Amino acid sequence: MMKMVKTVQQFMVGLVCLMAAGMSYAAPVLQPPEEEVKRITSELLDTFNKNKERYQKDPEGFFREVNRLLSPVVAFDQVARYVMGKFAHRSPDQVDKFESAFRDSLIRFYGKALLSLDDTSLIIDSVDKTSPELLKKYQEGQTSRVPVKMKVRTSTNTVEIFYSMVHVDGRWKLRNVSIEGINIAKQFQSQFADAMKKHKKVPYVVEHWAAIMSASTDGNINK
């Protein structure tokens, strides 16, 4: 009797270990990123459309709202490293400082861009679905990002947006965005490189990044 009990116990322990091993090797099933993209974009556009007149008078209030909505879903650390380019490797002690400064400038860039669309009502026109094949490639490490194509309709035309998404911290996050063919992260990267040519030192560019970008984006948006 004791021998039978011991045999059953050994069998159960082995079964539990086998199940645990199987669970550890099974990759979690990822949901496509377009639903997250659609959700956060809908919230942002809805907030803008409902409060446009108030935000025109109080842009700082709008920037705070954009920050609240976007901060959880943007991979600021990855974008910041990309923007710094080769200088991220040369000055690793400056990366965290730059991420903090870059976060604010990116939020303000989006906020100012929306506020510049004066009498326009913004709604989502369409969002393309991610193919199972592409999602599988991402999970297998064959591609580093998943693109999501979206069209936003204004009162006069349609704007095409490409979001570049990565799955980190248990959720999909924005890694980059291209609007009508303009790659935003590359724009910031060029600005950082130009600032380095002018000022030569990474700590200086990092410390004064807000002022550098404020002058640049103000000029671009108001054209």
If you write DSSP's letter for every residue of 26-79 in order, what string do you get? SPPPPPPTHHHHHHHHHHHHHHHHHHHHHHHH-HHHHHHHHHHHHGGGB-HHHH
Spans of all domains in the chain = 34-221
Q: Give percent of the chain with pLDDT exceeding 90.
A: 44
**pTM score of the predicted model:** 0.76
Amino acid 214: pLDDT: 72
What is the per-residue pLDDT across 120-139, written as a single tens digit (0 to 9) for each?
Answer: 678 899 999 999 999 999 99
- What is the CATH class of 34-221? alpha beta
Q: How confident is the model at residue 109 (pLDDT cuts 50, 70, 90)?
A: confident
Helix, strand, or coil (residue 150): strand
CA 19 – CA 28 distance, rounded (Å)? 15
Q: State CA 146 to chain mean position distance.
A: 11
Higher pLDDT, 223 or 76: 76
Confidence check: pLDDT of 165 > 50: yes
